[in-house]
Amino acid sequence: MGTATARNGSTATAWRNWAGNVTATPTRVVTPASIGELQEAVRRAAEDGLRVKAVGTGHSFTAAAATDGVLVRPQALAGIRSLDRAAGTVTVAAGTALKDLNRALAAEGLSLTNMGDIMEQTVSGATSTGTHGTGRDSASIAAQIRALELVTADGGLLTCSEKENPEVFAAARVGIGALGIVTAITFAVEPLFFLTAREEPMGFDRVTAEFEEHFAENEHFEFYWFPHTGNCNTKRNNRSQGPAAPPGPVSAWVEDELLSNGLFQAVNTLGRAVPATIPSIARVASRALSARTYTDIPYKVFTSPRRVRFVEMEYALPREAVVEALRELRAMVDRSGLRISFPVEVRTAPADDIVLSTASGRDTAYIAVHMYKGTPYQAYFTAAEHIFTAHGGRPHWGKVHTRDAEYFSRVYPRFGEFTALRDRLDPDRVFGNDYLRRVLGA
C-alpha cells in the first residue's frame, strides 16, 4: 500500500489495489481531515499542474482511481453527519466504509434497502463505480442516493439532488470520479427488517430454464454456476417477519469460512499450481455446499466475507439476454482448454435513471466471471467479453474490461449527456487519468 499521508501532501511510494493488478505512484498523497482541506488540496494540485484522484479501499479491479498526481485518501472524512427519520434519509461522509454504515444504521433500527455482497468499500467508492447487489424491485446502492455533495475542479463545493442541480445529480451518482470528489452522500433508508435466505444447489439446465420464474417469485435472486460442471448454487432472499435465526456456529463456519474462504483458498492455490486438477476440484466443490435456510437483518444476509483474492470481470446485459449468454459462456468453456476454478455469478437489477449506471434505462442481469489472483485471466476474460458485448453488455466501471468511449457511446443512450457535463465541470481534466481517457474520451 502507499505510504506518506501528511495532510499537506507528501511523497508516496506505489499504491496497489486489493487484487494487486493495478499499481500507481502518485506525486503526493493527502488525507484531508475536513472539506476545507480537501478543497485546498484540489486547488493546490491544479496550480501545480497535477491531476487528482480519490481512492477508497481499492476494491476496484480497474485503474479508475490510479494517478501519478495527487492521491486523496478520504478515510478521515467518515461517519454519519445527520439522520432524518421523518424523511427516511441518512447523510454520511464519503470516506465511511459500508460495513461501518451498516452497523451504525442497524444500531438506529434502520437499513439500506439493498446492497452488494461485499461491504469493505467506502460509500463513495462503491457508488461511484455502480456497485450493486441483486434485486427484482430494488436497485444498486447508487440508486438509493437522494443527494450528494462534491468538490469540483475549481475547489468549489457543489450540492445536488433531484431539485438542486438535477443535471449533476443525474450523472454524479455513478460518476467514476470524473466530475469531482464526492464528500457526502444522502441515502434513502427504511426501518430495519428481516430477510430469510434460502440457499439450494440446483442443476444448470434447471436454473436457466426457470430463471424468469425464480426472478419473478423472489425479491432477491442470484445463483452461481461452477464451470466444468452442470452444478449451480442458488440463493433467494425475501423479507420475513423474523425472528432472527442466523446459521448455527458450526454451519456458518463450514459454509462461510471453510468452504468459501479457507478450503476455497487451498483448492485455488492447488489449481493455480496444477491447472489439470481444476475440473475435478470443481465437481467436488460444487457438491460440497448443502441447502440451508436462515433469517437475519439485511446486511448480515446480503454481505459475506471475501478473503480469497481474485480478479473479476462483470457485464450488465438486458435481462432477457442473460440465459442465452450464460449458455454461450458454458459452451465456450467446455470446448476450450481453459481451467476455471471460480464460480460464475448471476444477479439482476431493475432499470434506473442514472446516466452511466449499468442498469440505466433497462431491466438488467449481470454475469460476473472471476479468476484466482496470480493466474492468467486474459484468455478467459477476452472470450467472455466477446460473448457479453455481442449482447450489448455494459461492463462494471470498477471491474476488468477493454471497452472504450466509442463502445460506450453506443450502449449508453445518454453517454453524450455525461461527457458534456464533464466538459462543463472539469474542462481541464483535473480529475482525469488514463482510464477515464479511455472510457470517456479525451
pLDDT in the model for residue 258: 46
pLDDT in the model for residue 250: 53
pLDDT in the model for residue 415: 98
pLDDT tens for residues 205-225?
A: 999 999 999 999 999 999 999
- Residues 206, 230 contacting (CB under 8 angstroms): no
The predicted model scores a pTM of 0.92
Nearest Cα to 295, choosing from 253, 251, 239?
239
pLDDT in the model for residue 291: 85
Distance between CA atoms of 375 and 78, rounded to whole angstroms? 36
Query: What are residue 52's phi and psi, to 5 degrees?
Result: -125, 135
pLDDT tens for residues 142-154?
A: 999 999 999 999 9
pLDDT in the model for residue 6: 40
Which residue reads 460444487 in cell numbers? 286
Q: Report the relative pairing of strands 89-93 and 80-84 from DSSP bridges.
A: antiparallel
pLDDT in the model for residue 262: 57
pLDDT in the model for residue 3: 37
Which residue reads 442443476 in cell numbers? 203
Which residue positions in the chain have pLDDT lower than 70? 1-12, 248-264, 266-268, 284-288
pLDDT in the model for residue 261: 55
Distance between CA atoms of 82 and 89, rounded to whole angstroms? 8
Q: Report the relative pairing of strands 80-84 and 28-30 from DSSP bridges.
A: unpaired
